[in-house]
Structure 1
Amino acid sequence: MVEEWAPKRVVITTDPSALAESVAARFLSRVARRIDEGKRAHISLTGGSMGSAVLAAAARNPRVGRIDWSQVHFWWSDERFVPAGHPDRNDVQARAALLDALDIPAENIHAVAASDGDLDLDAAAAAYAAELARFAVKDAPYPAFDVCFLGVGPDGHIASLFPDRSEIQITDRTVVAVRDSPKPPPERVTMTRPVINASKRVWMVLSGVDKASALGLALAGASYASVPAAGAKGRKRTVFFVDEAAAAQVPPELIDREY
């Protein structure tokens, strides 16, 4: 793929609740538009409190029942390698918040293998890479996500790509295993940066004053190796959706008051 990405913009909402509602409304609007155009939509989800809050807000939105979810495929940028049904799993959180309430074919929900299944950690990563490849686009062995949701940790990590670790540097694989994660649980599966950055839209959703430093560094052009959020870029849109507490260090010229 030709490496062309949209500039980073920041959209500020007052508080976490309003932030979740606003992002959820934008998400449903984007999916509906895609389906109305007669196209299939691929969405990459994230975990964490804000990831779940956005999905729960989408479930409450009246528009959710007017979308043909059979044309939507859900993925995860990373997953904790723990048993199926474990509350730490991102797919468990997403199903409880939204997916279980949708009229969507089971095969449209692409979950990473669990630790109590037949696959070990490396095999789980390889299997997810193979699943991505089933929906390959013309010039890459994975789908181009219409929206890739990402959370951002206080340390600037995205998915399970943590600062100053080898996984953030990998470009020759689409999915990798993570061991000894600096954040528990220690074993994870994560998409790599090329897959994330092939997304049409990267939407990073973060709230709280503890995220202000990471956001500031990401916007200031920090090295993606040290601040992975700085290296997350969408081809059409790269947007940080934040609350006022997280926006303490945002330069005024980067605030998007129209998007």
Structure 2
Amino acid sequence: MVFGPPQDPILYSFPSPNNLIDALASFVIKVQKDSIEKKGRFTIALSGGSLPKQLNSLIGKPGLKWDLWHVYYADERAVPLDHPDSNHKLCSDVFYSKVPIPVQNIHPIDPNYLDDLDELSDAYEQELIREFAMKDSARYPVFDLILLGMGPDGHTASLFPGHELLSEEDRWVAWIDDAPKPPPRRITLTYLVINHAARVAFVAAGAEKADTLHTVLDKPEEGLPASRVRPASPGQVFWFVDDAASSKVQYQRAQFKL
């Protein structure tokens, strides 16, 4: 695949969080369908927060082929898989337990390496190599979809403002032991992976996100981590937000349609 310059983000804004979630579900179903028709599988990376619960809107919808889903994490906390802080536990409790994704198609961190962040991130990078480099012969992993949230400081995944990981140019998966919000020890996909995805979709709702979203979309030169998510063409970044979150944004909105 030949990658070109990033395309401008596409912003979808909806009257309510429920409208947002319904549109996101339709989007995920369409991306899944296109990916399976093209490659015979659907690769997705999830972050934590409210995103896993929002995916519950997919339950019972027609056209979903759960057996062909391959699920990874955009970031994960360096805690046991059953720990309350684990993104994997959250996803298991609110999403995986309700849908028939084969357990072998869900790719958590290896808990045997929790005491060594370098080993932990290396092991997760090997998971990506097995899925992408061996199957696709790709120089970089090309996820069909990466779903991300955005913190009030503009961080996404575990890429935080001002942190040295923002300039990581070699590793697909990197570790951080000084995250400014607990728990401090984490691993995260780097921009090398995020910015080679076919699609990245951010989800942000609520008036408390308004100032940050304004900065990310209207002042990208400030370099907040979320604004640095700009997949190389033909990749595309989408923002799914509600009107409260976009209330201060001047960036042009698009009409949602599939």
Q: TM-score, normalised by structure 1?
A: 0.89
Q: What is the alpha-carbon distance in structure 2 between the residues aligned to residue 87 and residue 94 of structure 1?
A: 11
Q: Distance in 2 between matches of 1:126 and 1:91?
A: 18
**Residues 68-94 of structure 1, C-alpha deviations (whole Å, 9 max, x = no match):** 222221111100111221122111112
What pairs up with 1:136-147 in 2 under 5 angstroms? 136=133, 137-142=136-141, 144-147=142-145
User: How far does the alpha carbon of each residue in 1:132-170 deviate from its partner, in whole angstroms, 9 at most, with x for none?
Assistant: 11122434243x111110101111101000000001110
Q: CA deviation at 1:53?
A: 3.0
Question: In the TM superposition, what is the alpha-carbon distance from 1:62 to its structure 2 partner?
Answer: 2.4
Q: Which residue of 2 aligns with 1:220?
A: 218
Asked if structure 2 preserves the Cα contact closer than 8 Å seen for 1:10 and 1:239, the reply is yes
Query: Cα offset for 1:16?
Result: 2.1
Which residue of the partner structure matches residue 58 of structure 1?
58
Which residues in structure 2 correspond to 1:83-122 (within 5 Å)? 83-114=80-111, 117-119=112-114, 120-122=116-118
For the residue of structure 2 that corresponds to 1:62, the secondary structure is coil
* 1:189-208 paired onto structure 2 within 5 Å: 189-208=187-206
Q: In 2, Cα distance between the equivalents of 1:118 and 1:161?
A: 21
RMSD: 1.9
Task: Answer yes or no: is the 8 Å Cα contact 1:176–1:191 preserved in 2.
Answer: yes
Match of 1:123 in 2: 119
Q: CA deviation at 1:3?
A: 4.2
Cα gap change, 1:202 to 1:118, in 2 (>3 Å): closer
2:3 paired residue number: 2
Bigger shift: residues 13-22 or 175-184: 13-22
Q: Which residue of 2 aligns with 1:243?
A: 242
Gaps of at least 5 residues in structure 1 are none
Shift of 1:101: 2.6
Partner of 1:46: 47
Distance 1:223 1:190 in 2: 23
Q: Which among 68, 71, 85 is matched to residue 71 of structure 1?
A: 68
CA distance in 2, matches of 1:208, 1:121: 34
Distance 1:140 1:156 in 2: 29
Percent of paired sites with the same residue: 33
User: Quick one: distance in 2 between partners of 1:193 and 1:165?
Assistant: 13
Residue of structure 2 equivalent to 1:187: 185
SS across alignment from 1:54: helix
Structure 2 gaps of 5+ residues are none
Cα offset for 1:37? 4.3
Residue 229 (structure 1) aligned to one of 226, 242, 247: 226
Does residue 132 of structure 1 match 2:128? yes
1:9 CA displacement: 1.5
* 8 Å contact from structure 1 (residues 132, 141) kept in 2: no
> Aligned letter for 2:66?
W
Partner of 2:147: 149
SS state at 2:220 partner: coil
**Number of residue pairs aligned between Structure 1 and Structure 2:** 250
Residue 38 to residue 84, structure 1, CA distance change in 2 (3 Å):
closer
For 1:180 and 1:38, locate their aligned partners in 2 and report how far apart those are by CA, in whole Å. Answer: 38
1:105/1:184 Cα in 2 relative to 1: closer, same or farther (>3 Å)? same
Aligned residues of 1:204 and 1:239 also touching (Cα < 8 A)? yes
Residue 193 of structure 1 contacts residue 232 of structure 1 at CA under 8 Å; is this kept in 2? yes
Q: Which amino acid aligns with 1:138?
A: S
